[in-house]
Chains A and B, each alone.
Chain A
Amino acid sequence: MPSSHPLRFAFYLAAVITVTLIHDPRMLLLVLAGLLLLSGTGRPALLLRAGRPVLWILLLLSSGILVMGWLTGQPVLHALLLINLRVLVLALLTAWMLRDVDLDLALARLPRVRRWLVIVRGQIQLFRRLAQDYRCAQKSRTVVAPTMHQRYLGSAAIGLAALDKGVHNAEMVTQAMRSRGALHD
């Protein structure tokens, strides 16, 4: 793995495109093994992180392929291995990139993209914290489990309150930074 983060990110992008050009399951298995070998310590956690977002998609696709093969009587092993391995290799590459690439450093040459990524990531974190705060506040004041109707109403109230707070917070931060001369680009 190269030490420079932009280089690591470029390597990731090139690897992702290359993997979509490989159509041999044995080659993809080799790539998977190579990636696991090169990814260093924490391989099981990395594999788990890669597998979790694609698990249901792969299960759904695989069962569909198996049913299709059963109905048509055609061999499906090649297609089954090819799709599962390709999606898993791509997910592993992404998980590895997420673990070992600092996106802020990787996108240093694209300041506008980086700025938006940082702003939006900050807002997402704020939303999550607000949602968690409100959820905890609601739970601590409710003794019986809410009905579905109450949950929908509660979620709507929490969402709108979080939106107000998010906008207020973003405007406050922007004004504070601008008044200190930080946003004059």
Chain B
Amino acid sequence: MHIPDGLISPQTYLPALVVAVPLWWWAARGFARQVGDEALPRLAVFTALAFVLSSLMLPLPGGTSGHAVGVGLLALVFGPWVAFLTYTLVLMLQALVMGAGGITALPVNALAVGFIGAWTAYLLFHFLRPVHAHFAVLAAVFVSILFSALLVALVLGLQPLIAQGPDGSPRFFPFGWSVTLPAILLPHLFIGAAEAALTLLVWRHARRRCWIPSACGREA
């Protein structure tokens, strides 16, 4: 779902960078405290898993496909700040190793998918957990995917309004919200459902293996 380079204006990515840098700093500051020595190798594996999920195409009805994100899983296992930081690394790797996504779009993608996605999944999961843990995972991941998709659609749809040439022609992404909202949100209903199921599968596995500190009653 992340935005590639060249479609968003400096008016968007520069303020996003200003917001993202202190958040990265804050997340990095608490990183060592939140992730103990024992959990570090596990975090590396889960970060790699998020990367693989992002490049993994899921078959959807009608022959189309979309890619999962993996940030919800990171948030549920390691917490939202760690998920935000590691998902930024995933985005960096995608941009610098695969040529997917982009450097200028990195702060926007990191905020929309990494930060908002991770916090939505984390908070919703803890809010719904008393109802039913499995339902909480499914709902948290599904809503976080839709929320991130909504933000990406809003950012893209904003471009023709804030970055126009003298003749009014768009300089970056050319379509407004009437196009971006349905075009991005509708496929993500399917992607979100598939990713929620996938996250539940891995989350249950992680809980069985005692990789989630809160589920095992001990610090990782």
A residues adjacent to B (C-beta < 8 A): 13, 16-17, 19-21, 23, 49-50, 53-54, 57, 61, 64-65, 68, 76, 78-79, 82-83, 86-87, 89-91, 94-95, 97-98, 103, 116-117, 119-124, 126-128, 131, 148, 156, 159-160, 163-164, 166-167, 170-171, 173-174
Contact = CB atoms under 8 A, between A and B. Distances in A.
Given A20-B10, A61-B7, 7 more contacts: A23-B165, A78-B167, A90-B5, A94-B96, A98-B99, A167-B41, A170-B44
A79 B47 contact: no
B97 A94 contact: no
Contacts of B97: 98, 103, 121
Contacts of B169: 76, 78-79, 82
B149 to A, nearest CB: 16
A166 B98 CA distance: 21
Contacts of A159: 201-202
A163 B7 CA distance: 35
Interface in B131-180: 165, 167, 169-175, 179
B103 interface: yes
A57 B1 CA distance: 12
Contacts of A89: 6
Contact of B93 (A57, A120, A148): A120
B52 interface: yes
A87 B99 contact: no
Contacts of A124: 48, 51-52, 93
A91 B202 contact: no
B10 A21 contact: yes
Contacts of B5: 16, 20, 87, 90-91, 94
A61 B180 CA distance: 11
Contacts of B179: 64
Contacts of A122: 44
Contacts of A148: 59
A17 B7 contact: no
Interface of B: 4-7, 9-10, 13, 40-42, 44-45, 47-49, 51-52, 59, 89-90, 92-93, 95-100, 102-104, 165, 167, 169-175, 179, 201-202, 205, 209, 211
Interface-central residue, B49, B92, B98, B100, by most chain A CB under 10 Å: B49
B45 A166 contact: yes
A89 B4 CA distance: 12
Contact of B48 (A50, A97, A126, A173): A126
B201 A156 contact: yes
Contacts of B47: 116, 120, 123
B48 A123 contact: yes
B24 to A, nearest CB: 11
A96 B174 CA distance: 27
Nearest to A173: B41
B165 A170 contact: no
Interface-central residue, A98, A123, A131, A164, by most chain B CB under 10 Å: A123
A144 B202 CA distance: 28
Contacts of A76: 169
A19 B172 CA distance: 12
A120 B48 contact: yes
A150 to B, nearest CB: 13
A90 B172 CA distance: 13
A49 B99 contact: yes
A120 B99 contact: no
Contacts of A95: 99
Nearest to B95: A94
